[in-house]
Amino acid sequence: MIVKAVQDVEEIPVTEAGARGTTIRWMLNSSDGVPTFAMRYFVVKPGGSTPRHAHAWEHEVFVIKGACTAFYEGETRHVGPDHAIYIEPEAIHSFANEGTEDLVFLCMIPIQ
């Protein structure tokens, strides 16, 4: 069993073009010996966003705190805490924090 506390994992600024006010922590990944899925912990500050992008793998997102505007293939949805989001492979997507508190979410992706 692997157990980690958020505060013990390095917080890394997301520096991809289009990212604003976003950090990531790789909670579980292949360097921990996890074979199939990586778990990432994101914080998006008010006014911040993840970049619009697409990639070859699916991922699952779970909003822990705050709310976001989720952009997905031309569709826009407001998503709040305790909601799950499924993003299909190759879908253009991003998340924007238009609220007044931090947006915190988990994102699981397959280990490639």
| pLDDT one-digit tens code per residue, 4-52 | 999 999 999 999 999 999 999 999 999 999 999 999 999 999 999 999 9
Residue 79 has pLDDT above 80, yes or no: yes
- Asked if residue 75 is part of any domain, the answer here is yes
- Looking at the domain assignment, is residue 94 inside a domain? yes
Task: Quote the CA–CA distance of 70 and 88 in Å, as a whole number.
Answer: 14
Range of the domain at 71: 45-52+66-80+88-98
Task: Note whether residue 37 is domain-resident.
Answer: no
pLDDT above 80 (res 112)? no
Establish if 29 belongs to a structural domain: no
Tell me if 74 is assigned to some domain. yes
* pTM to 2 decimal places: 0.94
Residues paired with 39 in a beta bridge = 28, 108
Give me the number of domains the chain comprises.
Answer: 1
- For residue 8, CA distances in Å to 21, 72, 89, 99 come to 20, 32, 31, 27
